[in-house]
Structure 1
């Protein structure tokens, strides 16, 4: 989930200096990441604070609730951003063919797992307190819960999917997408960008057909309760991030025009698919939306995102991983401060943002500084390519 690269497209370079640390962030990527995190947060406000209330569609509360209800699309945006941020440095440096898978996996593990494990242990520690456990989970934790969360296999079992923190399924998804990244580059090397898109779209459609069949089967031990939360359903979105990186790396006026035209089409497609429960349609629609936003926002000066009204959203994007890891427990622990049947949808939402939102930002900022940030450099994409002629080997980090 990293957005580290030069702020604007730049000429290719052979390699980062051996002593390099972190490269600069892309401000517009952080802004998009902050928006996605906030949208997911609002989805869970609707679930945990508003009790999934459904006011009339045409009322003001009805519109607000339905905007919040589409917050799962924030995960779609995150997946595209992940593919984009992993690919862009390789394309910019002309090193797409030089990825060292073992080094890549090691660096990604440094980036993803320390904060994840710390968040899991923190929440499991809270759940040892009986009064808190009742608010966080519906049953006592088991050794199997711990084992599946340690190995990131908990989304494969119905009993463990939400046993600790239901939002963590996308972290398991991210890990499997990392595992598939070298394969994605291999397809790109042999069959080009079109081959990548056709292959990953075919996998997504095939998986959707399997999901329809699987939903009608008796699942032993609740095996694979949600097929849309696994790698095959989202690999196409990850590939869309690769496509967006190629467009941003070689910007053209035609790309901007096409992105502007495709953005509303993708949004309608995504909203329609989401509302109807058509996973592949929703994934395609919001994936296209993310690509279009990346292409369009890459042309906007960085100061627009780093100052003024968008500054807070960009800052949220910087800590969005920590924010995402911790937001659900905070929402659950603070739920009940305002009652939607007494306060109404609008006021309850404002209280949720003011209380739970502020608390999550504060906790996430501390968590980011002490747990997540120390591992950011170790996850840098500049250290995961094979050394070539005239290219200094990566440092020990």
Structure 2
């Protein structure tokens, strides 16, 4: 069961559309989270009316969508390894260069966009979620340039950038995880990512290390495991992939996540994110394996829906640039309006969301697509 060969697929089947669909769902969930927080910012004691109290769960599921993004990343990066007999194609240095080319230029473009917009049109406090990004210092800028802002400036310049730094840091460990997988097996490698990640996160609670969400290393490992189960060949992997009820397991882990979050309430859930991230990550892993089956069922139908696949193709750009654009849209069209908070939320969700998707696509064409690697997963 430690075979690292890919499942046999047609030559043109290296791109898996369901991954784009899952990226889209995750990105749109994050967008919904931030639209909620744009109107009802908890730190300013702004909340929806009691009959819409369930919307406070946006404060939880937005973060959990980022957790699923990390699982997807581990899944995707493991696929070339599986296709290359368990080793990184062309070695670790080639891998890191390709990742840097793919991730860093669009990120720097969005970083510059945020700084320019703060300097010109969205730099004043408005008692919204955007009040945090505008209070940055030179140290915060340096932290963002060298990609350590998850430890030092989590919400400065843009409140979404912390996860970009975290993912880049995880990339540095991926070559070691590949070697460990080849020598000790995928289960040992994934167990180590969970033990180290969660050990540091919980053992160093309250420190800068824990502030960096280092337990996401374990979620990345779950993605690696999902890829190996979903795309590995040989009778053991095929039996595991086809006989285990992966969709049912995904529903179970999603139900556990929801039950914990609803019973804790949003404040305790935010404080206990690491405990929710694990079942949320397992949900994402199980869904990806389900989509790899000969009959993927409902997950395959949902995540290969063409509009989702399209949005997923530029979900990175949507994630990077939506925060300042959301503030600009709200500040320009809604801040001085007579609309109620509920109406503003509806307008942002129904009209602002599609507008942000369109603007993100323009950003993608200008700053992401030129740096795409030739092969996509």
- TM-score range relative to shorter protein: 0.7 to 0.9
Picking from 325, 336, 358, the partner of 2:320 is 325
The aligned residue for residue 8 of structure 2 is 10
SS state at 1:134 partner: coil
1:9 to partner: Cα distance: 4.3
Are the structure 2 counterparts of residues 278 and 89 from structure 1 closer, same or farther at C-alpha, using a change threshold of 3 Å?
same
1:183 to partner: Cα distance: 1.3
TM-score (norm 2): 0.81
The aligned residue for residue 41 of structure 2 is 51
Following superposition of structure 1 onto structure 2, how do residues 29-44 of structure 1 map, counting pairs within 5 Å?
Answer: 29-44=19-34
In structure 1, C-alpha distance between the alignment counterparts of 2:18 and 2:9, rounded to whole Å? 20
Are the structure 2 counterparts of residues 54 and 254 from structure 1 closer, same or farther at C-alpha, using a change threshold of 3 Å?
farther
The aligned residue for residue 18 of structure 1 is none
Q: Do the aligned partners of 2:40 and 2:47 also contact (CA within 8 Å) in 1?
A: no
The aligned residue for residue 343 of structure 1 is 340
5+ residue gaps in structure 2? 1-5
1:363 to partner: Cα distance: 1.6
Q: Cα RMSD over matched residues?
A: 3.1
Write out per-residue CA displacement over residues 145-198 of structure 1, whole angstroms, 9 at most, x where no aligned residue.
3221111122222xx332211111010011011111111112212211121122
Write out per-residue CA displacement over residues 231-270 of structure 1, whole angstroms, 9 at most, x where no aligned residue.
x311111011111111111364653533123212211333
The aligned residue for residue 128 of structure 1 is 119
In structure 2, C-alpha distance between the alignment counterparts of 1:272 and 1:341, rounded to whole Å? 37
1:12 to partner: Cα distance: 9.7
Write out per-residue CA displacement over residues 105-124 of structure 1, whole angstroms, 9 at most, x where no aligned residue.
11110000000001111111
Tell me if 1:149 matches 2:144: yes
Write out per-residue CA displacement over residues 32-52 of structure 1, whole angstroms, 9 at most, x where no aligned residue.
000000111111111112334
Structure 1 stretch displaced more, 252-261 or 352-361: 252-261
Q: How many residues align?
A: 347
SS state at 1:96 partner: coil
The aligned residue for residue 113 of structure 1 is 104
SS state at 1:127 partner: helix
1:374 to partner: Cα distance: 1.2
The aligned residue for residue 363 of structure 2 is 367
Are the structure 2 counterparts of residues 196 and 119 from structure 1 closer, same or farther at C-alpha, using a change threshold of 3 Å?
same
In structure 1, C-alpha distance between the alignment counterparts of 2:281 and 2:202, rounded to whole Å? 20
5+ residue gaps in structure 1? 1-7, 14-21, 216-223, 383-397
TM-score (norm 1): 0.78
Q: Do the aligned partners of 1:80 and 1:290 also contact (CA within 8 Å) in 2?
A: yes
The aligned residue for residue 197 of structure 1 is 190
Are the structure 2 counterparts of residues 338 and 137 from structure 1 closer, same or farther at C-alpha, using a change threshold of 3 Å?
closer
1:305 to partner: Cα distance: 6.0
